[in-house]
């Protein structure tokens, strides 16, 4: 392609890579480049670490994996000898014995340039400082005569600090004309606004247009929503790509007196409850597809948690790949049996009823002599859940279908989701969804479904399931809220404890009952061992019970609920300015 000083066509490949599938990811890159060439693009861009899949975690430390990624990049570089568009593609890169998170420019049959990520995130779900070396801030790369700056993800996120390398400032000072930012930014509720504000800040300080390219897809607990966008230098939105869908989009930039400008397509972006639901669908779909399960099964109880999970599963995989099993015991109400059957019929899934009384009674008979003289308690009641888990896993082993678990975040937080019923299995699409949102999402699904959902439209969750009080057979058909505070109160307290890490005293000051707050905190602490045994599940909040909230199981600290004491700075000896005091022990 010839250089055009006033035009520059960039194809954004918002795609869904698979971690470890180096050849498959390279094939996706070739197909995208072929489309970009057909559309007359000068450059095609891929998300962060695309050739490896993101995040690769400790897989990226394996020399064999590093070598496979390098070989794939070299082969893609040879492809560019055909005169087609240049390629910017993310890959791990070893140089002088150090491993970098890198982006390679491939053009003219060669690896024309390499840029390294300078700012490595090490918070929440990110753990890059233990994996990668920090790269230097570098100037732009030249593509078809245009100077393109390539900050990688976190290189635009951090504000000024001692550890922050101001990559954008460096690029602006060294002549960059446009910023292209490859990202691996996981979905979280309302994150689109955060990303946009970060990008606006970088455009404001640099005066340069910015392209924010994000990957899509599920990777274990993480879901990447895409929603890539571009900003002109005047802060107007130049383009918006869709969320939760692959997209190969060519943006045509033109250079005028005020610099480069683009007017591209504008897709709608999901957020709030709709975004959470779409994330749950995509997370389950990709977990099943990328791990190779032929389908899923789940226990259908007639309750709202399993109903929502069944709807998500059908939307993700299609009714023919979802199997529902009702496992009633003597405490199961007829209304639960009726509602479960209605749900299965509305979703069109295979459905069967397997009464568990013979198995539970058999366990009790086996234990009768061992428990002789001891009162009945929760031990016998929990045999129901253990029996259900055993039967679901037996069907899974026989058929190859993965068990979808159905415990919500509220009940998992306080230990009311049973290990062998709600939590053990292959994957949980509502693991990070509080109970109050379970109700909202169920109502939402009856009037809306995301683009690409494979389930039927209209009312799929019987209204009776949504409106009747939730039941829990853990306490012989009492309701959950006979022993827990109302869910709106429970979730409000948990949100402050889990997401914000607030002291108990400040939660009480906000108007919550002291005894209720203390009890929820106690239940949260003692349930840590249960949550460690739970299946992985989709992350949608700022902190989930997975990658980014790590508490010790053996832990004697408890917040007393008293106001926090003020530090006594008078006790602290501080070195005088210029002092070289040191402790030698």
Query: What CATH number did the domain enclosing 111 receive?
Result: 3.60.110.10
161-170 confidence digits (pLDDT tens):
567 788 888 9
- Per-residue model confidence (pLDDT) at position 479: 46
Could you give the 3-state DSSP secondary structure of residue 224? strand
Using the 8-state DSSP alphabet, how is residue 535 labeled?
A: P
Both 341 and 199 in one domain: the answer is no
- Judgement on whether residues 260 and 287 belong to the same structural domain of the protein: no
Residue 569 lies in a domain: no
Judge contact between 84 and 43, C-beta under 8 A: no
Residue that finishes a domain, picked among 515, 532, 549: 532
The answer to whether the pTM exceeds 0.75 is yes
- Residue 390 in domain: yes
Are 167 and 158 within 8 A, CB to CB? no
- In this structure, what DSSP letter does residue 511 have? T
Q: Into how many domains does the chain fold? A: 2
Q: Indicate whether 215 and 293 sit together in one domain.
A: no
Residue 518: count other Cβ atoms within 10 Å of its Cβ: 17
Query: Residue 99 domain-assigned?
Result: yes
Indicate whether 455 belongs to any domain.
yes
- 248 and 397 co-located in one domain: no
Domain end call among 264, 283, 301: 264
- The residue assigned the tokens 């240049």 is 86
> Residues 386, 446: one domain?
yes
235 and 318 co-located in one domain: no
Per-residue model confidence (pLDDT) at position 70: 96
DSSP string over 390-425: HHHHHHHHHH-PEEBP---HHHHHTT-S-IIIII-S
Domain co-membership, 432 together with 344: yes
Q: List, for residues 303-345, the tens digit of each pLDDT value.
A: 999 999 999 999 999 999 999 999 998 888 899 999 999 999 9
Instruction: Give, in degrees to the nearest 5, the angle at Cα 417 between 292 and 191.
Output: 65
Could you tell me if 244 and 290 lie in one domain? no
Other beta carbons within 10 angstroms of residue 458's beta carbon come to 10
**Residue 548 falls inside a structural domain:** no
> Looking at the structure, do residues 172 and 199 belong to the same domain, yes or no?
yes
- Reading the block at residue 335, the tokens are 């209304």
Residue 389 lies in a domain: yes
Report the run of H or E that residue 253 belongs to, with start and end.
strand 247-256
Evaluate whether residue 189 is within a structural domain: yes
Cis peptide preceding 271, ω within 30 of 0: no
253 C-beta neighbours (distance < 10 Å), count: 24
Edge-to-edge strands, sheet with 259-261? 110-116, 98-107, 86-95, 43-45, 7-14, 247-256, 259-261
CATH number for the domain spanning 316: value is: 3.40.50.620
Q: Is residue 545 domain-resident?
A: no
DSSP sequence for 450-479 = -TT--SPSS--S-HHHHHSPPB-GGGTT-B
Phi/psi at 418 (5° precision): -80, 140
Residue with tokens 């890579």: 17
Range of the domain at 381: 274-532
User: Could you give the dihedral angle defined by the CA atoms of residues 404, 410, 416 and 422, in that order, rounded to the nearest 10 degrees?
Assistant: 0
In this structure, the strands spanning 322-326 and 296-299 are parallel
| Domain end call among 532, 551, 570 | 532
pLDDT tens-digit readout, 440-491: 999 999 999 999 999 999 999 999 999 987 643 334 434 444 478 899 999 9
Query: Looking at the structure, do residues 303 and 234 belong to the same domain, yes or no?
Result: no
Positions annotated as catalytic residues are 48, 117, 153
260 and 307 part of one domain: no
14 and 135 together in one domain: yes
8 Å CB contact between 325 and 299: yes
Residues of the chain with pLDDT under 70: 1-4, 159-162, 418-423, 470-482, 546-548, 576-585
């Amino acid at each position: 392609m010839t250089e055009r000083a006033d035009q520059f066509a960039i194809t954004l490949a918002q795609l869904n890579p698979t971690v470890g599938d180096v050849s498959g990811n390279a094939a996706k890159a070739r197909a995208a480049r072929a489309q970009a060439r057909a559309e007359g693009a000068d450059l095609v861009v891929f998300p962060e670490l695309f050739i490896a899949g993101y995040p690769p975690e400790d897989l990226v430390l394996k020399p064999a994996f590093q070598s496979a990624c390098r070989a794939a990049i070299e082969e893609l570089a040879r492809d560019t000898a055909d005169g087609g568009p240049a390629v910017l593609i993310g890959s791990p890169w070893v140089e002088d014995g150090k491993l970098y998170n890198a982006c390679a420019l491939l053009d003219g049959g060669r690896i024309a340039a390499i840029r390294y990520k300078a700012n490595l995130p090490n918070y929440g779900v990110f753990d890059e400082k233990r994996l990668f070396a920090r790269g230097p801030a570098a100037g732009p790369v030249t593509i078809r005569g245009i100077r393109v700056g390539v900050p990688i993800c976190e290189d635009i996120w951090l504000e000024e600090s001692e550890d922050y390398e101001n990559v954008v400032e460096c690029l602006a000072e060294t002549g960059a004309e446009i910023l292209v930012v490859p990202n691996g930014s996981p979905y979280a509720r309302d994150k689109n606004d955060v990303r946009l504000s970060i990008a606006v800040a970088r455009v404001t300080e640099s005066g340069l247009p910015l392209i924010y390219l994000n990957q899509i897809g599920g990777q274990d607990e993480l879901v990447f929503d895409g929603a890539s966008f571009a900003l002109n230098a005047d802060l107007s939105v130049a383009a918006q790509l869709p969320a939760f869908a692959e997209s190969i989009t060519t943006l045509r930039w033109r250079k005028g007196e005020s610099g480069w400008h683009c007017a591209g397509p504008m897709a709608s972006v999901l957020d709030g409850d709709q975004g959470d639901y779409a994330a749950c669908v995509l997370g389950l779909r990709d977990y099943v597809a990328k791990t190779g399960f032929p389908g899923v099964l789940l226990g259908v109880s007639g309750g709202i948690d399993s109903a929502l999970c069944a709807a998500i599963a059908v939307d993700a995989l299609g009714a023919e790949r979802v199997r529902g099993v009702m496992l009633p015991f003597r405490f199961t109400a007829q209304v639960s049996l009726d509602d479960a059957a209605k749900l299965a019929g509305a979703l069109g899934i295979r459905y069967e009823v397997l009464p568990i009384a013979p198995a539970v009674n058999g366990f009790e008979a086996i234990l009768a002599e061992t428990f002789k003289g001891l009162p009945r308690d929760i031990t016998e009641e929990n045999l129901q859940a253990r029996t259900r888990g055993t039967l679901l896993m037996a069907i899974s082993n026989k058929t190859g279908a993965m068990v979808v678990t159905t415990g919500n975040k509220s009940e998992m937080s306080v230990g009311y989701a049973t290990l062998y019923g709600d939590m053990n299995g292959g994957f949980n699409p509502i693991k990070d969804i509080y109970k109050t949102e379970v109700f909202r999402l169920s109502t939402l699904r009856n009037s809306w479904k995301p683009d690409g959902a494979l389930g039927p439209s209209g009312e799929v969750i019987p209204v009776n399931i949504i409106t009747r009080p939730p039941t829990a057979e853990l306490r012989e058909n009492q309701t959950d809220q006979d022993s827990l505070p109302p869910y709106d109160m429970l979730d409000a307290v948990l949100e402050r404890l889990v997401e914000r890490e607030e002291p108990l005293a400040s939660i009480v000051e906000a108007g919550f009952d002291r005894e209720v707050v203390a009890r929820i905190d106690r239940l949260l602490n003692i349930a840590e061992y249960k949550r460690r045994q739970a299946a992985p599940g989709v992350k949608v909040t700022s902190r989930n019970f997975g990658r980014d909230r790590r508490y010790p199981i053996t832990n004697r600290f408890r917040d007393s609920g008293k106001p926090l004491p003020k530090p006594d700075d008078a006790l602290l000896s501080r070195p005088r300015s210029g002092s070289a005091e040191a402790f030698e022990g």
